[in-house]
Amino acid sequence: MSFKGSYAGVGTVSFRDMLLKEQILRAIGEAGFEHPSEVQQNAIPFAMVGQDMIIQAKSGMGKTAVFVIATLQQIEPDTDDPSIDTLVLCHTREMAYQVHREFERLGKYIPDVKTGVVYGGVNVAEQKKALTENMPHILVGTPGRVLHFAKDRVIKLNRLKRLVLDECDDMLQTRGMRIQIQEIFKMTPTEKQVMMCSATIGDSARSVCRQISRNAEEIFIDDKKLTLHGLQQHYVEMDEKEKIKKLNDLLDGLDFNQVMVFVKSKERAAALDKVLQQAFFPSISIHSGLKQEERLERYRKFKEYESRVLVSTNLCGRGVDMERVNIVINFDLPKHPDQYLHRVGRAGRFGTKGLAVSFVSGDEDKERLKAIQDRFEVKVTPLPSNIKASSYKN
């Protein structure tokens, strides 16, 4: 089956029509969700009755809420003998944190359901203590740390009812993570619901998804239709040495709420951030070279709008949801077209307007830009010298 990827369909089904629990509807209302997006309309009715799901839908269209709502709707927490009912695996620690928050937000009126989060880079003993003292029904985590706790028997997965893989293609294609996920998978009962989602699920990822699910309801959209309509995509050709000057000009000239600037290495992230701060831009950086506490602190700072420019490696290139980002700049073009799609999807979340500008320097970049345009059938045009703020700012 395939569906278009618009954010709110016409002739729509409402959240109420889905016959969700009253407590969930209340939380959805408070979150400000008025209508379900198209993927939510198409996926929730299947997911909430326990069907396996493979969901590909555009960036920023609310895939998280699909598995969060489907889980909260079905869960029947054992309050006497709590054990993990639902395990959600995420590809980065920041994503685990973010997804956990979404469970808390949409589950706030179901107080019996406890959710927890674990990820690497922070103290194991503290997390272990928290888990032992207060075993969650829903556990969100990164594969490495989850596996660690499962092997150590801190958590038991033998009563698991649901397994979710967010950004599934990334996790299943990153070798180390794939192996960890396979190990985790082996500890879970055969009978369970498996839900997987991403904006990009290519043929090989799709076949792995099929192997680990049964009779999944598959929602796919053509790669050619993944383009976000509210997002303008441009490029600027220049020499490597002109990049900083150009970035400076863009940040001066463009009307941004928040900007994400992507670079290819952690060294470059730190260095560019420093340059921007010296030029008095409200900038921070995030990359894997930082201590985990610091990483999350910076993620939070940007999310809370305390900083308006985030220089990042691919670490925040997919999944992260920063509502106010209206501009994405590829200071370095990503290697893979999929990475491009995810990065630019950080702007224009949930059908809002946005602008993506990619720096193209040298022949290799030109090839990359061509590959991106072919793959997603998107026209990335030269950045016009005069671009109206109303075209990329809501």
* Minimum separation from the CB atom of position 303 to ligand ADP (A): 10
Instruction: Indicate which of Mg ion, ligand ADP, none lies near residue 313 (CB less than 5 to 8 Å, by partner kind).
Output: none
Closest distance of CB 167 from Mg ion, Å: 7
Sheet of 53-56: strands edge to edge? Answer: 115-118, 138-141, 86-89, 162-166, 193-198, 53-56, 217-219
Query: Binding partner of residue 258 among Mg ion, ligand ADP, none, CB under 5 to 8 Å per kind?
Result: none
Residues 33-92 binding Mg ion (CB under 5 A) are 63
**Backbone φ and ψ of 386, nearest 5°:** -120, 115
Assess 155 for contact with ligand ADP (CB under 6 A): no
Restricted to residues 35-74, the positions that interact with ligand ADP (CB under 6 A) are 35-37, 40, 57, 59-65
Counting contacts by CB under 6 A, is residue 17 touching ligand ADP? no
Considering the rule CB under 6 A, would residue 350 count as an interface residue with ligand ADP? yes
Chosen from ligand ADP, Mg ion, none, partner binding at 36 (C-beta under 5 to 8 Å by type)? ligand ADP
The answer to the question of residue 354 lying near ligand ADP (CB under 6 A) is no
Binding site partner of 323, from ligand ADP, Mg ion, none, Cβ cut-off 5-8 A by kind: ligand ADP
**Position 323 contacts ligand ADP (CB under 6 A):** yes
Q: How far is the CB of 362 from ligand ADP (least distance, A)?
A: 31
x/- track of binding to Mg ion for residues 309-338 (CB under 5 A): ----------x-------------------
Q: Which of 33, 235, 281, 376 touches ligand ADP (CB under 6 A)?
A: 33
Per CB under 6 A, 349 contacts ligand ADP: yes
Indicate whether 321 belongs to the interface with ligand ADP (CB under 6 A): yes
> Binds 375, which of Mg ion, ligand ADP, none (CB < 5 to 8 A, cut-off by type)?
none
Binder of residue 59, out of ligand ADP, Mg ion, none (CB less than 5 to 8 A by kind): ligand ADP
Q: How far is the CB of 270 from ligand ADP (least distance, A)?
A: 27
Residues near ligand ADP (CB under 6 A):
33-37, 40, 57, 59-65, 321, 323, 349-350
Residues near Mg ion (CB under 5 A):
63, 319
